[in-house]
Chain A
Amino acid sequence: MLCCHQAQEKKRKFRETVELQIGLKNYDPQKDKRFSGTVKLRNMPRPSMKVCILGDQLHCDEAQANNLPFMDVEALKKLNKNKKLVKKLAKKYDAFLASESIIKQIPRILGPGLNKAGKFPGLLTHQDSMTGKVDEIKSTIKFQMKKVLCLSVVLGHVEMTPDELVINTHMAINFLVSLLKKHWQNVRSLHVKSTMGPPQRLY
């Protein structure tokens, strides 16, 4: 049914996101355990995320070789903890990865600006594959239940194949249901929706 919907898609100027909307029941946001976290999906839901490497010498060289944007410690220090410049940096990229030697200096060099933007870097070690870690960031989605009994998570985008979307949907649903106390008894409904399209009921 997902691919049927995609075939009917009008041509849009942007790549629409596909989301899973979960309606909950028998769950009291005031009393029950917080429902919040992240999960990594198999097929990259957000391939066009811009990730910047805040690297030591080795990582900067590697970033350059991989055509990834990067900054070294000197470049960060040049921002002089200026709030406006740090904010501008935060806006320029969707996420950051930082080398071990740099990540612990970030609060001293930049202040809380990246925290404020919700973009404090993830750790990049010399054992990690840089492109692997970047792909991991692009594959990880966040979910959070606020006060209404319904939440939405990114599954992918309309240019993914139906198989890719189905795999992502299964992974997301299984993970989220496993965190609910009563599992499937806490799920009232599941819908899949692309940004501009109508919701389609799955459950």
Chain B
Amino acid sequence: MVRVNRMLLRDGGVGICKTLSEILVCPLSKQPLRVCEKSNSLISDAISVSYSIVDGIPCLVPNDGKIIEADDTLKPDGAIDSLDRKREGQGDSP
């Protein structure tokens, strides 16, 4: 019974569960993250990168982060590059 309730609570709304929100930080800058309801993502303000949340699971791999442009719209651009990889536009899969 309790198990079902826990899973519902996690997936029901936008964002992530409480345990994760207390523990997770940005993988690059180690600064706290904030949840952005509008785009369903975690934003690291220190380096202006947003990490998407898919199905309640935050995706905090540096390569998947998107750099937020100055005008606050999300542009699909790899946040961390490595010279031997071309990553163009990592879209969220709904």
Are A and B co-members of a single complex? no
